[in-house]
Structure 1
């Protein structure tokens, strides 16, 4: 009788480590890309490029309607319906893309009124073309996460910036790099990644496409959860991008160029926390409440301690690297870099906590949190930006992140009856880390013992 082995699945710690490595590589590639474009275009040109690239990510975030998160949640409950969920998500997002394209075509000219006509025209065409691409990629990324195919998920996230960097380097070497050509390279890189995604997930995409008409009733719960979680994601998108909208409306292209560089550089402190957020929700969805809170709480505490240890020396040398890598012109925004670095860690921790509410089917709690934090942050934007410029943007974001974290901790205590101090400190974390280290030492010791045994046997003939 043949015995069929199940494919080996990575543990949560292994998956987080793999995703963290991918995030580090993505951050390295993105930083190199930022250095090249900053050196070639200067602060003003960098701002024009960033303004064009900003809109598709922002609008696709508004138009996703919670479908990627809902797909992850529902696949964990019924993996057999994955092809149905993917095909129905695609069918819904096609008309959404058309509507988003029409709105963005007319809206972009209003928000980019301080930019040249050529930049506005490029931004229009790029946004209309990229929004459906990014929506489809979001669904396929969720399908890969929901089925624990994190190798596909991580490789696909790495390929887009990597191929974009290769294209920019080739144009730079040949001396024909311009803002317009940089946009074309970015578009081509994302199209290539979408094709790779579709090829990797081809079986799940096409196996039920022929039965699409009769699948809507099956997907009622997919759309129901998507609408419930959409409030969280909509507010999260607004929170993550409203700083750019304010800069586009109130400040100059040079300010946007300075900000885009230091903002991207500050995100390197969020590598581990982003990996945890991407991994922990698919892993804990469907678990019992106590297990979810235990795993999410441990991930939150360990990540906050780890990133605080890392950020202190990194911030001390940050100004030096900004001048060396991007040029003296960008040192003007080094103070904003410090504020954004601290905000990155606090905000990253708050999103890890949000995973517990989404996994336990309580996304409405995070909606309320985001509404309050967004209201506070936007108010501070309009108060502080005219007074302090980019420093006002950074300070507003930092204070808003503290509001999100405090509300998340208070909600865990009130709703799930877990004392706040247990989410902030648990001595079992030290035991957990010791066990992980001990396991590695045992593995290393076992390998050394095996080598000694083989050496001894060979010496005796």
Structure 2
């Protein structure tokens, strides 16, 4: 009896954290959408494309240069939380030379990829990328530290603060009628630096407490880097998969196409807020659990999220075209069909990443590497076949087909490796009972405190 009572706080904690992170994602999506509306209205499709081209590179390159360290940090902290300061310090120490190398490559590589853009855009992109890559790498480590230690309030607040500050700066420049692409980039950089400073202040104890011990405990970092290199393949392929569409646009299409695509792509991501929250929360929560528990929790999160998001997406897609024209202007209606494809891809792709959490949590990231390799090969092939034929529509279709490949391979892998029948991952009649129970609970956040109190009372008597 005591064991049954003691389990509930952890289960409630996962649900509450997902709810909190989902709310943060919704707020971030709202702020990002407002930002996109302002920049689209001010700059038009071509100017929006130039801005998106500049902002794209730091996110892409930092994703390639992370070497799996954030995910490895979460995984290892769950096994040995006392070593967190060492893990953070060693991650920073490794990322400094990585940032320098990435900066040099970016400086000479960006002009090649942006050959169709103006000289001023190329210059801005070079300086912005070189400056932002180390900042984004450091923030990735601090975000992982917050997730690994269950400080999701810091994690979510920091994610919300950057776009909020960026929006506030853009609004001020817009009202003053001095908003330009160059100044929008400066606002983005200043906002990110401020958030990194806040992150370091919030995590200062973990960052600075190990400086004197770093040399003496260098062996501790072996665990961090060994797992990081194993999971890096997953994250490298994930980054390529999520960003290769932009690379194709930069190489084959026009700045106007990039502007149209950046608007509808960002708008389609609103359907992924819950699944993204689940992915961000479920891995730190289930890492270290037994296989049966991991598969049970990940499977339930996958099934419920797919059902809920499918219910939401159907009416939303019907009115999506209306809102594109209303919010961004008639110029962007040209890409409304692509919005439908990307919305479907968002749901399917989000579900596949929830399933990936099970393999990472059980120490089998290599399975996801194989999945990503095959899905990426299929998607890239379709990019080059369909994009020249159908433009942005071909791009969206290629992404959608690739996301189906990822999900199918994940389900097959669960069945083969963990001996769980595929139909159990797709359907479980207990899910409805679970949802009804949660619906009857008037306040999820108070529920966890009640269960903790019951567990304590039980232990005392």
TM-score, with length taken from structure 2: 0.94
Structure 2 unaligned runs (5+)? 1-8, 447-461
2:159 pairs with one of 137, 140, 157: 157
Aligned match of 1:317 in 305, 316, 319?
319
SS at match of 2:442: helix
For residue 286 of structure 1, what is the aligned residue in structure 2?
A: 288
1:79 alignment counterpart: 81
**Residue 213 of structure 1 aligns to a residue in which SS?**
coil
Task: Measure the CA separation in 1 of the matches of 2:386 and 2:48.
Answer: 24
Residue 287 of structure 1: SS of its match in structure 2?
Answer: coil
Mapped to 1, the partners of 2:276 and 2:299 lie a distance apart of 15
Contact 1:88 1:215 in 2 (8 A): no
2: CA distance, partners of 1:27 / 1:225: 32
Matching residue within 219, 239, 258 for 2:241: 239
Aligned to 1:141: 143
- Once the 2 structures are TM-superposed, how far is the Cα of residue 213 of structure 1 from its aligned partner? 1.9
- Among residues 389, 408, 411, which one is paired with 1:409 in the alignment? 411
* Residue-pair matches, total: 438
Q: Could you tell me the TM-score, scaled by structure 1's length?
A: 0.94
**Alignment counterpart, residue 170 of structure 2, candidates 153, 168, 171:** 168
C-alpha deviation, 1:354, in angstroms: 0.1
CA contact (8 A) 1:122 1:180 kept: yes
Deviation at 1:8, TM superposition (A): 11
Which whole-Å CA distance do the structure 2 matches of 1:321 and 1:90 have between them? 43
Contact 2:12 2:444 in 1 (8 A): no
> Does 1 or 2 have the higher relative contact order (CA < 8 Å, sep 6+)?
2
- SS in structure 2 of the partner of residue 215 of structure 1: coil
Instruction: Give the deviation of 1:193 after TM superposition.
Output: 0.3
2-structure distance, mates of 1:443, 1:60: 35
CA distance in 1, matches of 2:254, 2:186: 24
Structure-1 residue corresponding to 2:230: 228
> Is residue 64–residue 236 contact of structure 2 (8 Å, CA) maintained in 1?
yes
Q: Which residue does the alignment assign to 2:57? A: 55
1:178-209 superposed Cα distances (whole Å, 9 cap, x missing partner): 00000000000000000000000000000001
Of 370, 373, 385, the match for 1:371: 373
Deviation at 1:440?
Answer: 2.8
Larger radius of gyration: 1
CA deviation map 1:245-301 (0-9, x unaligned): 000000000000000000000000000000000000000000000000000000000
For structure 1, which runs of at least 5 residues remain unmatched after alignment?
A: 1-6, 445-461
Q: Secondary structure of 1:440's partner?
A: coil
CA pair 283-116 structure 1, distance change in 2 beyond 3 A: same
Question: How far is 1:215 from its partner?
Answer: 2.7
In structure 2, the partner of 1:450 is none
Match of 2:32 in 1: 30
Q: Distance in 1 between matches of 2:33 and 2:22?
A: 16
Q: List, as ranges, runs of 4+ consecutive aligned residues in structure 1 with deviation greater than 6 Å.
A: 7-10, 441-444
Superposed, 1:339-418 pairs within 5 Å as: 339-418=341-420
